[in-house]
Amino acid sequence: MNLIVYYENEQNATPVTYKLKMLIRRAIAETLAYEQYNNDAEVSVTLTDSEGIQDLNLRFRGIDAPTDVLSFPLFDFEGETDEPPVDEIQNMLGDIVLNLERTTAQAQEYGHSFEREAAFLTVHSMLHLLGYDHETSEQDEADMRARQREIMDRMGLSVEG
């Protein structure tokens, strides 16, 4: 599998280092490996702040509040849009928008590193790009939480709860 990750930095508060980009890439790759996704893949990652993500959240979800991460899958698995549902995805999977301001705050709130929180949010978002949705049922939420936990364990960044 060939993985290409495109990065766009739209914030100034948190330095976007090579180490951070490689952590995000690793979280994407680990999620794909866990899901046994063997096709070539492309993912776009935009790094933003609370103001930037709030604008996107309002525009695309009708929620006028900042959030930690947004996922914009390129494929519709459930037939919820005008596009026909797909059984199999290839190449460009979609966009991840990561709020680095919220990532920093949540890492402090949960008592772990910024890197662990950034990896967790990336894994969470990747699962959305692959068709998982924790908001559809309690079972789907439990399934997604278990997948997140197992992927983070594989990365050596275990998550409690």
Q: What is the 3-state secondary structure (H, E, C) of 41-90?
A: EEEEEEEECHHHHHHHHHHHHCCCCCCCEEEEECCCCCCCCCCCCCCCCC
φ/ψ of residue 132, rounded to 5: -85, 150
Q: Identify the DSSP state of 135.
A: T
Low-confidence ranges of the chain (pLDDT < 70): 76-90, 159-161
C-beta separation of 3 from 40 below 8 A: yes
Hey, what amino acid is at 3?
L
Tens-digit pLDDT profile for residues 128-140: 999 998 888 899 9
What pLDDT score was predicted for residue 114? Answer: 97
- Spatial separation of the C-alpha atoms in residues 56 and 27, rounded to whole Å: 23
- Spatial separation of the C-alpha atoms in residues 58 and 44, rounded to whole Å: 20
What pLDDT score was predicted for residue 5? Answer: 98
CATH of domain 3-154: 3.40.390.30
Tens-digit pLDDT profile for residues 7-32: 999 999 999 999 999 999 999 999 99
Domain boundaries, the chain: 3-154
What pLDDT score was predicted for residue 137? Answer: 85
What pLDDT score was predicted for residue 75? Answer: 73
Q: Which residues, in sequence order, are CB contacts of 130 under 8 Å at separation 6+?
A: 31, 35, 37, 73, 89, 93
- Spatial separation of the C-alpha atoms in residues 101 and 72, rounded to whole Å: 20
State the residue for tokens 């789907």. Answer: 140
